[in-house]
Chain A
């Protein structure tokens, strides 16, 4: 019975129950219990394919449980639990239902064994998650949510088109490893790429995550992109182009993150950069690399949520997440500051923190497989991570110049959520073996070697030293209120501008035609009037006498001519 009940349905039923419950903390309790029950179910399921449904002659596999889907299913449950605990104070029914359905759809997608089920949940994540943006209930959030929804739905439609083409080609809708080649596989690849924020397809991420509610962003940060990472790992492991796409993904966001003022957008860029490491791992595609991607996704969901939580707590107390308005908050929000530092150390991959034991799996395997340039890019990107997530977030929020703000410490439930997440970050970093045991393949790896620890510490400490030197010399760019252009400029400014030009042209041409037609018509009427008007030309009234004279002349003329 347990195995025939898809985990995602648990969340859907919980969302229905939440909908009918009266206001109050009862709903918050459901939000906490559901992920625990789901995790318990996933943990106890044997490997295999369950909950098969026949639909239109096709067999839909609702639950395909193996080591790859299990680790993603578990971390999604954990993320949902921590995110909902962080959002304990939220009484907004829209956000509560959206959080449940969103987590449920993401987990459903992870366990989907065929492309149709995947498509169903793929669109489910898009529709459920947009309400976490709209729940902010402002004009800006509405427009941002619309842009987000259009892009996410497009990704799903492309997935469906790809699945249809693939079915025509192979006669199967099973979601398994594919080789890029036919149009169908390329469409599926691009669909995954949109959700995974590939370069040039990435900007929905930085556009929408800062627009969500404080708690909504924490929940958003966990699912959509990591679902795409899972889908790529399942469908396109070992596809070489992913190595280069991933390397570019690690690289370009670090420059944008450096000069971005909105700290939640900095974190969105940083998220994009972290996805790059995972995508490189998928591209390399060896067992160890896929292990690296899965473990890095696991660790990343936790420390990224932790960073979003700490910035969110600051936002809850100060009303802003802009670095230019913040600073010096460690005095009155010291616990949040420490949790933020743990997240920063984890994402920067300091030894004893979670990023260190997971990212190095990917980096070492990239080196093992002889990609020296990619490896050098990843090492550089690691220093870049330190610059924006490791230094910028905690420094400009909690230390740095004193903004004069003295907000109260974060609410207790937020501290609990942050504390638990921070604890997990440290536990994974100190004792990675349980996480390694969950990975898709057997792990033979020891992160704590002398070379590795010293090398990583050197990289980070010297980069930190460079930061201090640049700050003291005034070279480091200051935090200023501004927005920076990115690819979204194309559809937010360029496309409307082009549309505007075309619109003006069409309107002008139409007006011109209309005026010319009008003139022509007037000329014709005038001409006709001239000819046939009462005063002129053909229709002038003449006396009967003159007609008689003319008739007489004509008759006389013809008479005369007959005698000639």
Chain B
């Protein structure tokens, strides 16, 4: 990728450089492992204090984690099916919508670095 070139990197501000660390492919695994560890810590944290919820189900250790993981996955899968049904080409509504038209260039300030 272009940005890997040193001359390109030098154009970035230090903040931009720091954030671009997260986008590097070689760091993807580190981030994944880090997140998994965080999840494990949060799961085991449930055993360290007395949980008091409104419903009994909240007292199951890791309830929120499991619920979050399962429901998020379900959400994505249902959304995928939904897309099959309701997806249409961008010009579906013709000139009566803004989907196929460009934003007026005179209202933009498109400078590049």
A137, A375, A407, A458: the one within 8 Å of B111 (CB)? A407
Residue of B nearest to A251 (CB): B75
Instruction: Verify if A546 is at the interface (C-beta below 8 Å from B).
Output: no
Contact B79 A315 (CB under 8 A): no
Given A143-B97, A318-B110, A468-B35 in contact, is the A460-B68 Cβ separation under 8 Å?
yes
On B, residues with C-beta under 8 Å from A are 1-3, 11-13, 15-20, 22-23, 31-32, 35-36, 38-39, 42-43, 45-46, 49, 51-55, 58, 62-69, 71-73, 75-80, 82-83, 85-90, 92-93, 95-105, 107-113
Instruction: Verify if A497 is at the interface (C-beta below 8 Å from B).
Output: no
Contact B86 A486 (CB under 8 A): yes
B72 to chain A, nearest CB (A): 4
Contact A399 B64 (CB under 8 A): no
List, in ascending order, chain A residues with CB within 8 A of B78's CB: 255
A143, A470, A483: the one within 8 Å of B76 (CB)? A470
Docked pose: A138 CA to B79 CA in angstroms: 31
List, in ascending order, chain B residues with CB within 8 A of A387's CB: 72, 75-76
Contact B66 A319 (CB under 8 A): no
Docked pose: A331 CA to B19 CA in angstroms: 7
List, in ascending order, chain A residues with CB within 8 A of B16's CB: 330-334
Contact A459 B64 (CB under 8 A): yes
Contact B73 A331 (CB under 8 A): no
B73 to chain A, nearest CB (A): 5
Identify which of residues 452-476 in chain A touch chain B, using a CB-to-CB cut-off of 8 Å: 454-468, 470, 472, 475-476
List, in ascending order, chain A residues with CB within 8 A of B89's CB: 482-483
On A, residues with C-beta under 8 Å from B are 89, 136-141, 143-144, 210-211, 213-214, 254-256, 258-259, 262, 315-320, 328, 330-335, 337-338, 364, 367-368, 372, 375, 379-380, 383-384, 386-387, 398-400, 402, 404-409, 411, 450-451, 454-468, 470, 472, 475-477, 481-486, 492-493
List, in ascending order, chain B residues with CB within 8 A of A255's CB: 75, 78-79, 82
Docked pose: A494 CA to B68 CA in angstroms: 38
Contact A465 B35 (CB under 8 A): yes
- Enumerate the 8 nearest inter-chain pairs by beta-carbon distance, A residue then B residue, closest first: A367-B54, A140-B98, A258-B79, A330-B19, A334-B15, A458-B64, A462-B65, A459-B68
List, in ascending order, chain B residues with CB within 8 A of A457's CB: 42
Contact B71 A408 (CB under 8 A): no
List, in ascending order, chain B residues with CB within 8 A of A406's CB: 11, 112-113
Residue of B nearest to A460 (CB): B68
Please, could you name 20 A-B residue pairs with CB atoms under 8 Å apart, sorted by A? Answer: A139-B101, A144-B98, A214-B107, A259-B80, A262-B99, A316-B110, A328-B23, A330-B16, A334-B16, A337-B19, A338-B15, A367-B55, A379-B64, A383-B72, A454-B46, A459-B64, A460-B68, A462-B42, A462-B64, A484-B83
Docked pose: A450 CA to B50 CA in angstroms: 9
B25 to chain A, nearest CB (A): 10
